[in-house]
A = this chain, B = another copy of it.
Amino acid sequence: MSMEIPYKIYLEEKEMPSQWYNVRADMTNKPAPLLNPGTMQPITLDELKPVFCEALARQELDDTTPYIDIPEEIRSFYKMYRPSPLTRAYCLEKALDTPAHIYYKFEGNNTSGSHKLNSAIAQAYYAKQEGLKGVTTETGAGQWGTALSMACSYFDLDCQVYMVKVSYEQKPFRREVMRTYGAKVTPSPSMDTNVGRKINQEFPGTTGSLGCAISEAVEAATSQDGYRYVLGSVLSQVLLHQSIIGLETKTALDKYGIKADMIIGCAGGGSNLGGLISPFAGEMLRGEADYQIIAVEPASCPSLTRGSYRYDFCDTGKVCPLAKMYTLGSGFIPSANHAGGLRYHGMSSVVSQLYEDGYLEARSVGQTEVFQAAQQFARVEGILPAPESSHAIRVAINEALKCKETGEAKNIVFGLTGTGYFDMVAYQKFNDGDMSDYIPTDAEIEASLAKLPTV
């Protein structure tokens, strides 16, 4: 008989991780190196330094050090909103009438509303350490921009966010949160950068794109003294910082003697999934344990399930390094009907390599079934989930229902990355029955991939 498991497992401060875990160190097949877009050769530290802080560039290139100390100031900041609870979904289990035990790691209890803050605070810290004045970034829906604004505010760093113009206008609340934290939020394309002016001239009235916003943010970073560019997903440094999610999860499970059978995470650029699964994948890589790991992606942007594993640009503007990853092509844009995040064309090269090597499987799910799961979860577990997180909920519920058929009491763990409070336009579409489930055709994906460089 095991200990009685509380609804929410909180670690004590002394149980919180003091190091991040770098899963690359335990991978036999390392992720392929980033390529310099100018030379198409593996990028060097010196080539990365003008764009990224040096400490972060070093983390990006380090695929051998398994544990990296979390600096004391970052640990202090983490204590304001971490540990995040690992919650036993007793009410969901009851509603599903399943013998499965469902756990979720909830990253939404902070004002950024998601796990993004875990890496934002780390990136801001290193920027401050190197004496920079500020950082620039792009944001689409605004989760990453909010997280970075909070982190920069804490360290008194200037924060310049290029926000895709359509989001800037349609999501004024996210914008105001960033402004409250002191960030300068500029609708992109703007008239402040060369690339912005050029695009505004070529496409008058354009509402912008993430690719354009990235290009503006990179130009802003490299054209101002004391600024660097930062990114909230995809990069290996981001997965390193996000390993805090998985490490806390594993510590909490171990504390109660629970062995996870299945670990489920939603996957866009891969930062949450990579962080959640890192310590578990590490055990698999070292031959110490076995888990079923499932990456869940939207059917409208299915990089793992329908993409190709090859070198591609990380941005549509082609100013960033190339990464080898599962990709739909850097020119791929999900259907406008797609409501949630997880819109990125590619997948973290760490996650891609683990997938290629069979350490995880991938599933794609449709938008309507995702919101059905979100609503069911919200009604019994109380938390209104982000559309992104709800992809993981969908598969967790599906798996729990399979357990009901087979009678298996599996331990299902999933990542609940955030809350949906700023996504109510999407929920309204669902509530009104106006949600569509458009899925790209094979021809569309092939056409997008055909434009990629041959490396």
**Residues of chain A having any CB pair with chain B under 8 Å:** 6-8, 10, 12-13, 76-77, 79-81, 87, 90-91, 109-111, 113, 117, 150, 153-154, 172-173, 176-177, 179-182, 375, 378-384, 419, 421-422, 424, 427-428, 430-431
Select which of B7, B384, B421, B422 is within 8 A of A79 by beta carbon.
B7
Select which of B77, B379, B421 is within 8 A of A173 by beta carbon.
B421
Q: How far is the CA of A424 from the CA of B178 in the complex (A)?
A: 11
Residues of B within 8 A of A12 (CB): 6
Residues of B within 8 A of A8 (CB): 79
Select which of B110, B173, B181 is within 8 A of A424 by beta carbon.
B173
From A80, A110, A431, name the one whose CB has the most chain B CB atoms within 10 angstroms: A80
In the complex, the answer to whether B382 meets A80 with C-beta atoms within 8 Å is yes
In the complex, the answer to whether A421 meets B424 with C-beta atoms within 8 Å is no
Residues of B within 8 A of A90 (CB): 76
Q: How far is the CA of A322 from the CA of B91 in the complex (A)?
A: 40
Query: What are 6 contact pairs spanning A and B, CB under 8 A?
Result: A81-B382, A111-B383, A111-B421, A173-B421, A173-B424, A177-B384
Select which of B113, B181, B381, B384 is within 8 A of A379 by beta carbon.
B181
Q: How far is the CA of A332 from the CA of B81 in the complex (A)?
A: 40
Q: Please give me the residue from chain B that is nearest to A8 by CB atom.
A: B79
In the complex, the answer to whether B382 meets A180 with C-beta atoms within 8 Å is no
In the complex, the answer to whether B421 meets A378 with C-beta atoms within 8 Å is no
Q: How far is the CA of A428 from the CA of B175 in the complex (A)?
A: 9
Taking A179-B427, A182-B379 as known contacts, 6 extra A-B pairs with beta carbons closer than 8 A to each other, sorted by chain A number, are: A6-B79, A111-B378, A117-B382, A154-B382, A177-B421, A180-B378
Residues of B within 8 A of A153 (CB): 378-379
CB distance from A107 to the nearest CB of B (A): 12
Residues of B within 8 A of A6 (CB): 12-13, 79
Residues of B within 8 A of A378 (CB): 111, 153, 180-181
In the complex, the answer to whether A111 meets B382 with C-beta atoms within 8 Å is yes
CB distance from A102 to the nearest CB of B (A): 13
CB distance from A142 to the nearest CB of B (A): 11
In the complex, the answer to whether B428 meets A382 with C-beta atoms within 8 Å is no
Q: Please give me the residue from chain B that is nearest to A4 by CB atom.
A: B13
In the complex, the answer to whether B79 meets A176 with C-beta atoms within 8 Å is no
Q: How far is the CA of A28 from the CA of B378 in the complex (A)?
A: 44
In the complex, the answer to whether A7 meets B180 with C-beta atoms within 8 Å is no
Closest 7 CB pairs of A and B: A173-B424, A7-B79, A176-B424, A153-B379, A111-B384, A176-B428, A421-B421
Q: How far is the CA of A52 from the CA of B428 in the complex (A)?
A: 32
CB distance from A25 to the nearest CB of B (A): 30
In the complex, the answer to whether B383 meets A110 with C-beta atoms within 8 Å is yes
From A12, A110, A117, A177, name the one whose CB has the most chain B CB atoms within 10 angstroms: A177
Select which of B172, B421, B428 is within 8 A of A422 by beta carbon.
B421
Select which of B77, B111, B375 is within 8 A of A419 by beta carbon.
B111
